[in-house]
Amino acid sequence: MKTKLAALFLVALTLGGCHNPINSVENAQKEGQRTMVSDQRVVTDTGLNKSVSVVGLNTAMTPGGVLKVQAELLNRTKSLHRFSYRFEWFDMNGMQLTTVMTTTVADQIEGGESKFISAVAPTPACKDFRLKLYEAH
């Protein structure tokens, strides 16, 4: 009896922690064309890679000639996931440019949700970038 109750309690806890996944709809014929960029990845946390999966990266230049990067993320699980991320920027010599705009941002993604995160380079000298994704504590 005690075992059953404990099991029920665990199931209730698990289900209570789950959020409903997201359904979405969008226009099929897109007016805007994304300039996708090829990427190279280093995955050390496969769990995070499943719940916060990077689908693609695209870039654009702002009117002021500054690089803007957008990453499409997809949560391949059914539950809400908290994470944080930061963009790092590099100049044409591959040197990292650290400014006050290089910040770690806390974020969350619902189960099954696809969402975009973006960042603007701190200076027009930034030519390359790196996106780091972290599991929330």
Partner 1 sequence: MKNKIILPLLAVGAAIFTGCGTNAHYVETGGRESVVSVGKINSQDFIQAAGAATSDLLASGVLDRVKNPPAVLAMSRIVNNTGQQIDIDLLTKKIRVGLLQSGKAVTTTTFGLGGQAEDPLAKGIQQQEEFMNDQKTTRLPDFTLSGKIIENAVSAGNTRQSTFSFQLSLTDRQGLAVWEGEKEITKQGSKATVGF
Distance CA(60)–CA(54), nearest Å, equals: 18
Please count the residues of this chain forming the interface with partner 1, following the rule CB under 8 A: 24
- Closest separation between CB of residue 83 and partner 1, Å? 9
Which CB, 1 or 16, lies closer to partner 1? 16
Q: Which of 54, 57, 55, 53 is nearest to 38 (CA)?
A: 57
DSSP at 22:
-
Distance CA(23)–CA(97), nearest Å, equals: 39
Considering only residues 62 through 121, tell me which ones interact with partner 1, judged by CB under 8 A.
62-66, 68, 82, 84, 99-106, 119-120
Which CB, 79 or 84, lies closer to partner 1? 84
Q: In DSSP terms, which residues pair with 128 in a beta bridge?
A: 90
Find the part of the chain contacting partner 1 (CB under 8 A) among 9-17, 22-30, 31-39, 60-68.
Answer: 60-68
